[in-house]
Amino acid sequence: MGLEIDQRNMVARRAAKEIAPGMAVNLGIGIPELVADFIPNEWQVMFHSVNGILGLGPTPLKGEEDQHISNAGGAPVTVVPGASYFDSTIAYGMIRRRKLDVAFIGALQVNRKGDLANWIVPGSRVHGFGGGAELAYYAKKVIVLMSHVDPHGEPKIRKECTLPLTAKGCVDLIITERAVIEVTKNGLLLTEVMYPYSLENVILHTGATLNISENLQLVD
Amino acid sequence: MLSKLVTREQAVEHVLDGSRLMHGGFGTIGSPALLIDTILQKGIRSLTLIGIDAGYPHVGIGKLISHRRVKHLITTHIGSNPEAGQQMMDGKLEVTFYSQGILAEKIRAGGVGIPGIVVDANMGGERTEGGEPVIFAGRPCLIEPAITAEVGIVYAKQADTYGNLIFDKTARNLNPLVAMASDITIAEVEEIVPVGELDPEKIVTPGIFVDWIVTRSGGSS
């Protein structure tokens, strides 16, 4: 992603504010994996992982990993009291049945209509959809966590995506190290600018028109 | 007593050049490593491989791809195996992508004898494979054909000699579905016990779906 770990953590900390106690939340691979670290245990948020866990817990201490408990990225995790294991059809049954309150997803590009591209860079990198398309389509709220620009410095938030789409019109909110942007019926609405970036910097590095919120916040 | 326990060489007898081979596992978790190595050593080629991902270049199911034993990959994600991506871009490996939950459900349909499933057509973006468009329940849908395989390889924590299986935490993933959707299912297990020792309430895959069992230690007794 090209972001330093403290920037990734900053995005994850901001993302955690979108979660309320008792929610069921899916964390995708990448920055989304960090979000759980910013949620208090007593909130009893149930983290869902497509490889077959509801009730993902924190990273185990070194030496205490269980080789058969991982998150969808393959990293060792623990489970919380009340957790359950299940097969792949049940993992997606929960998603399609619209039981997930929030899905945090990484992205390569997002456009002004909330279309999501994150599965292939033709001629360069191929990932595949994994569970991204279904999470993006069926979760009640979809929040993209990503770097504001790509490794070439090009905007990842664009008027149109140039990469093949994973899902259309699915993104509700975008959180980057520079800004928080809502996807609305009237286009993209900039609500927060993160220190040390300026409003001008965010506009310059965003490839689509931004409406500026009347309540725009400059966040330290 | 009847037992489905065999040596690993006997177990892969039905895996042949050109076979459709389905496998359990999510990354390396729940992946039948011993059976994969045995198929690799047998020198099998031109496989059609069906599963959640492409593993890693030198670990798990990815080994078969790195050794050029696979001609067609039906999967959901290959990001952890750049070798698979490279072979795809070089035109040496055909890759068919499905969304993960849809692939799992297509395999489940195969496993329960249903010819296909009806899925929401509006879900996806731009994919390499699409089902047959229909209007169903007043909205655009796709009929996605069921998927079965000639041979399935799964990993389980425990089996009894009849082939009843119990899985292990996130090592369950696609394994129970693969067991049901394959004409011949081979289970690689940590432990095998006599019939009667597994609690019937805890059995996830009934042994009727399992043909052969090998233990991770590889022996036949």
More confident residue, B53 or B219: B53
Buried-state track A40-67, b at ≥16 Cβ within 10 A, e below 16: eeeeebbbbbbbbbbbbbeeeeeeeeee
pLDDT at position A1: 46
| Residue B126 in this model has a pLDDT that exceeds 90 | no
Compute the average pLDDT of residues A189-203.
97
Compute the average pLDDT of residues B51-72.
97
What is the C-alpha to C-alpha distance for residues A129 and A152, in angstroms, rounded to an integer?
A: 23
Q: Where are the beta strands (DSSP E) in chain A?
A: 24-27, 46-49, 53-57, 78-85, 102-105, 109-111, 116-117, 120-121, 125-126, 141-145, 157-158, 173-175, 179-184, 187-194, 210-219
Using the beta-carbon criterion (under 8 Å), do A128 and B175 form an inter-chain contact? no
pLDDT at position A129: 81
pLDDT at position B71: 98
| Residue A85 in this model has a pLDDT that exceeds 80 | yes
Crossing angle between the packed helical segments B100-111 and A88-96, to the nearest 10 degrees = 120
Cβ–Cβ pairs < 8 A, chains A and B: 139
- Contact status, residue B206 vs residue A84, Cβ threshold 8 Å: no
Of all residues in chain B, the percent with pLDDT exceeding 70 is 95
pLDDT at position B197: 97
Highest mean pLDDT among A76-80, B32-36, B137-141: B32-36
Compute the average pLDDT of residues B45-71.
97
Q: Which of A71-75, B65-69, B92-96 has the lowest mean pLDDT?
A: A71-75
Which residue of B28, B101, B173 is in closest CB contact with A134?
B101
Residues of chain B with Cβ-Cβ distance to A70 below 8 Å are: 26-27, 29, 170
Which residue of B52, B77, B95 is in closest CB contact with A88?
B52
Compute the average pLDDT of residues B164-181.
98
Q: Match 């490889």 to its residue by tokens.
A: A51
pLDDT at position A127: 86
Residues of chain A with Cβ-Cβ distance to B76 below 8 Å are: 128-131
Note the pLDDT tens digit of each residue in A19-40: 999 999 999 888 998 998 899 8
DSSP state of A33: G
Compute the average pLDDT of residues A167-196.
97
Note the pLDDT tens digit of each residue in A105-164: 999 999 999 999 998 888 888 888 888 899 999 999 999 999 999 999 999 999 999 999
pLDDT at position A73: 87
pLDDT at position B221: 41
**How many CA atoms within 13 Å lie on the side-chain side of A119?**
27
Of all residues in chain B, the percent with pLDDT exceeding 90 is 90
Residue A90's H or E segment, with its range, is helix A88-96
Q: Does the CA dihedral B10-B94-B127-A163 come out positive or negative?
A: positive
Residue A16, classed as helix, strand or coil, is helix
Q: Is A155 left (phi over 0), alpha (psi -120 to 50) or beta?
A: beta
Residue of B92, B84, B80 lying closest to B64 (CA atoms): B84
Q: Could you give phi then psi for residue B35, rounded to 5 degrees?
A: -65, -40
Of all residues in chain A, the percent with pLDDT exceeding 70 is 100
What is the C-alpha to C-alpha distance for residues B209 and B218, in angstroms, rounded to an integer?
A: 21
